[in-house]
Amino acid sequence: MSVTAAKGFRAVGLAAGIKCNGAKDLALVVNDAVAAVSAVAAVFTVNRFAAAPVLVSREAMALAEGGYSLPRAVLLNSGGANACTGQDGYDDAKQAAGALARRLGLKTEEVLVGSTGLIGERLPMGRLLAGTHQAVVNLGATEAAGLAAAEAIMTTDTVPKTAVATGAAGGYTIGGMAKGAGMLAPALATMLAVITTDAQIDNPTAQQALEQACRLSFERIDSDGCMSTNDTVILLASGASGNQPEPQEFADRLTAVAQDLARQLIADAEGAHHEVSVTVTGALTEDGALKVARGIVRSNLFKTAVAGGDPNWGRILSAAGTVPPEDAPFEPNQVDVAINGVTVCRHGGVGEPRHLVDLSGRQVDVVVNLNAGPSRATIWTNDLTHEYVSINADYPS
């Protein structure tokens, strides 16, 4: 159901000719409610080479935070990232936002924009603007419209990603879509995601909930350690249900939707044959557990071993051992490692025989117990396969 599941939203996805292959490449999501009952929140990449659409959307969000305007439409394209395109690229993004705003009767700063695709190329603005006009005509509130939007933001994704949840007692709905299969790492670990809700919330509640949701979802997956220039997660609220949820309850439901989308991203990560969870337990702090888990999921040697069905726990420990002691205190000779339930390493040394580990299934669960404290954290990743190399060696440029 995606972004049209919640009341008060219309969406569309179509082929505007931005991609060479004729696939869908342009999506709109529009909140039809008036500003007074609407809310908006957004989280962006922290990459210093933030793409032009990120710069334009950040400006719009800054105005929204100041109370000057309230973004209620999102224009997204695949087929080009509009990143590292200088002033020209910025002007392109601004022009696209302005064109959509005029068609919807909004101000330019009430439109957010997002792009994904190759870095360092201008967008074909003629096709994008013509496609935008066409898209406004085709906006719809149906399930099909929401699905088409999710399809239009795909790049190397093989399936669209959507998720839906309902609030307490069915009082409101949250629905979302996301794309991302490579350049997938915190923070964020996605490329583009739009989530809509008909809950009636204010901007600070929306922003706080979205930050919690991202922290526990998109920022806990890491496919290839590569941070994108275009990462954008947007939450639009229409208030159309009339339901005003308790903020923490709303944040938790939103987190569930974001986690659902995040897991779908990892499951469809470029070339992945295994989905891998790395859980670090027994850490002094959650942050320390996260740092050790991130060290492990960034190891190409660990990830190629998983691809080869090899429970090579030495590569897990050698990666964990690169985390500075001040970041995560532990004693190397106290660390246990279990892979799919077999404790192959005990107290930093040899444990159960590694041949007992079954890696024939798609799911691989690694648990590293630091035996140094009460905290834990999980990062989701995938294996590093021949297909990953093929996809990224041959990505068109």
Which residues are bridge partners to 278 per DSSP? 366, 379
Binding status of residue 289 toward a copy of itself by CB under 8 A: no
Q: Is the peptide bond before 118 cis (omega within 30 degrees of 0)?
A: no
By C-beta, is 360 or 397 nearer to a copy of itself?
397
Stretch that binds a copy of itself, among 141-149, 259-267, 276-284, 383-391 (CB under 8 A): 383-391
* Element spanning 261, H or E: helix 247-267
Residue from 59, 91, 121, 143 that binds a copy of itself (CB under 8 A)? Answer: 121
Tokens of 269: 């990560």
Q: How far is the CB of 187 from a copy of itself (least distance, A)?
A: 10
Distance CA(218)–CA(223), nearest Å, equals: 11
Point out which residues pair with 338 in neighbouring strands: 343, 367
Three-state SS annotation for 302-352: HHHHHHCCCCCHHHHHHHHCCCCCCCCCCCHHHCEEEECCEEEEECCEECC
- Tally Cβ neighbours within 10 Å of residue 387: 14
From 249, 310, 352, 365, residue interacting with a copy of itself (rule: CB under 8 A): 310
Given 190, 197, 232, 378, the catalytic residue: 190
**Contact mark string toward a copy of itself, 349..378, x via CB under 8 A:** xx---x------------------------
**Distance from C-alpha of 328 to C-alpha of 282, rounded to nearest angstrom:** 11
At residue 134, φ and ψ (nearest 5 deg) are -60, -40
- The minimum distance between CB 350 and a copy of itself, in angstroms, equals 6
Q: Which stretch binds a copy of itself (CB under 8 A): 62-70, 136-144, 201-209, 316-324?
A: 316-324
Q: How far is the CB of 218 from a copy of itself (least distance, A)?
A: 16
**How many residues belong to the site for a copy of itself (CB under 8 A)?**
68
Residue type for position 225? G
Instruction: Give the footprint of a copy of itself on this chain (CB under 8 A).
Output: 47-50, 81, 83-89, 118-122, 182-183, 224-229, 298-301, 304-305, 307-315, 317-323, 325, 332-333, 344-345, 347-350, 354, 384-386, 388-390, 392-395, 397
Active site residues: 190
